[in-house]
Amino acid sequence: MIRPSAPLRATIQRTTPPLLILLAAAIILLGKADQSMFDSLRASLTDNAAPALNALSRPLDAAATAVDRVRGVVTMYQDNLRLERENERLLQWQQVALKLSADNRELRGLLKAAPENAMSYVTTRVIANSGGGYVRTVMVNAGSDQGLARGQAAITGDGLIGRLTEIGSRSARVLLITDLNSRIPVVIQRTNANAILAGDNSERPRLLYANDPDAIKIGDRILTSGEGGVFPPGLPVGTVAALGSGGARVEPFVELSQLGYVLVVDYGLSGGLPQPAPVAARPGRRGKPAAPDEAGVR
Amino acid sequence: MELKVSSIPSLPRVNSGLAQMLPIATTVLAALLAILPVRLPGYAALTPAFVLMAVYHWTIYRPDLLPPIGLFAVGLTQDLVAGTAVGAGALVLLLARAAVLRYRRAFIGRTFPFVWSGFALLAGVAMLGLWALHCLMQLSFFDFRTTMFRTVLTVAIFPVASFALGRTQRALMGATG
């Protein structure tokens, strides 16, 4: 190996840091000008980091489970009483639900209503978050290999948490509903008024462009409206927690800082996010052209 | 803005490969630690800047083993994996390194409270810079309280990180390191 001479080494040593600083600044500007520029690099790096993050996040998972267990033991007696009461109530609701379900089926048959899209779920584990207050995303340990695709909804048992924005082969990024760039068409259940749920990096996203903002009350349930084809209608999102001049604030049903396992739901909708342009293969050179969104079709 | 960068002093040679890799390895570990999903309310937004702690420590004690190109790679990778603005983390880390390198002599052999206050100053300026950069890029005003709390948490946790890094450094590099 040729070793550079001492003066040359000193020059390299002196000029490298300012050059790198300028390069970093240039990258910031480039990334701002074309936000999709680093998408593939991001996805492949994230894929490579996924196994390490997966392994490192396991002890945290175990710790959270242990804390839950200890808490569970302490509150076992009260929990048992509460659950018994709840169970009694739910059994009554079950009867109601069964009856409604039968009615619903019958009426749908009479109306010849089109059947709803079939749903499929992929259970994923959160392996990383964005660290810092400037973006609100989480990374999950499944990707296109498991059938995930851009735009799919991410939920927990309690409600909506966000949608998939970046897909690697074995990892994916979920843009949380609290992120500055998250805009979700929602409906206020009580008044049936449409609005947009806009994240602003705070814990409680805002309701914008509501049809009748004065009719919104604290405690109103917010569901996805299904407008624009981003999400299916009726996914629970949160409740109105505060009213103010900047719009009503919504407390999400899901505790977003406590995410462990997340369900990714494929409703067979387009997803509302533009797919990256497929590379048009030349006939005779690479076989069939690449199908957009091939990973999402199952 | 003048980017005056001090030259790296000659420090005792480290023969063990493990010891040579230590600064980069701990910086990478710090970057991973910063994005692990700790299930504490509000933690994600307030995650301490672990990488900044590693950069401060190693730039004072072994700047020769944390080359700017390595730091650039770590910063850029962290930006890409964490999903934040690409280049912003790398820029802040490189500027922090340049600043600490200029004044590193003032910190060598001083008491821990002195080193700690140096870090508090660095963390304050770095977090303010990062906040301003993001506000400018998103053309939106991010809640400054989050940045403030994050800075306080970062400064508060620094002694633990400094102790761990110092211990590992002594164990692998000996007293000369």
What is the ipTM for the molecules in this complex? Answer: 0.84
Give the integer Cα–Cα distance in Å for B177 and B18. Answer: 13
Query: Cβ B81–A49 below 8 Å, yes or no?
Result: yes
Q: Which two tokens stand for residue A240?
A: 């109105």
Q: Would the CB atoms of B83 and A49 count as touching at under 8 Å?
A: no
A173-184: average pLDDT = 92
Which residue bears the tokens 């900044």?
B52
Residues in A touching B33 (Cβ below 8 Å): 56
Report the chain A residue with the minimal C-alpha distance to residue B32: A53
Lowest mean pLDDT among A112-121, A224-233, A275-284: A275-284
- Please report, for chain B, the start and end positions of each structural domain, with discontinuous segments joined by +: 17-173
- Cβ pairs A/B, distance under 8 A: 161
pLDDT tens by residue, A210-251: 888 888 889 999 999 888 776 788 889 999 998 887 789 999
CB contact under 8 A, A27 and B5: no
Q: Is residue A190 predicted with pLDDT exceeding 70?
A: yes
pLDDT at B102: 92
Tell me the C-alpha to C-alpha distance, in Å, between residue B94 and each of A68, B104, B126, B159, B162: 41, 15, 11, 22, 20
Q: Closest Cα partner for B104 from B66, B68, B57, B71? A: B57
Is B84 in Cβ contact with A258 (below 8 Å)? no
pLDDT value of residue B176: 52
- CATH of region B17-173: 1.10.1760
AA identity, residue B151: T
pLDDT tens track for A248-262? 999 999 998 888 899
| Cβ–Cβ contact A156 with B under 8 A | no
List the single best residue of B33, B91, B149 to mutate versus A (max A Cβ within 10 A): B91
Residue A281 has pLDDT above 50, yes or no: no
Q: Which residue of B has its CA nearest to A255?
A: B41
Judged against a pLDDT cut of 80, whether residue A276 lies above it is answered with no
**pLDDT classification of A96: cutoffs 50, 70, 90:** very high
Cα gap B96→B60, rounded to integer Å: 11
What pLDDT score was predicted for residue A89? 94
Across the interface, whether the CB atoms of B44 and A46 are under 8 A apart is answered no
Domains and CATH numbers, chain A: 39-111 (no CATH), 120-266 (2.40.10.340)
Subunit contact A202:B85, Cβ cutoff 8 A: no
- Say if A206 is an interface residue toward chain B (CB within 8 Å): no
Q: Which of A38-42, A83-87, A234-238 has the lowest mean pLDDT?
A: A38-42
Cβ atoms of A241 and A218 within 8 Å: the answer is yes
Q: Cβ distance A145 to A287 under 8 Å?
A: no
Task: Tell me the Ramachandran region of residue A293: left when phi exceeds 0, alpha when psi lies from -120 to 50, beta otherwise.
Answer: left
Q: Do B5 and A17 touch (CB under 8 A)?
A: yes
Which residues of chain A does B6 touch, with a Cβ-Cβ cutoff of 8 Å?
none
pLDDT digit string (tens) for chain B, length 177 residues: 444 445 566 677 776 778 888 999 999 999 988 888 888 888 888 889 999 999 999 999 999 889 999 999 999 999 988 888 889 999 999 999 999 999 988 998 889 999 999 999 999 999 999 999 999 888 888 888 989 999 999 999 999 999 999 998 888 877 554
For residue B6, the distance in angstroms to the closest alpha carbon of chain A comes to 8
The predicted-structure confidence for A3-35, as pLDDT tens digits, reads as follows 667 888 888 888 888 899 999 999 999 888 887
B 99-128: CB under 8 A from A: none
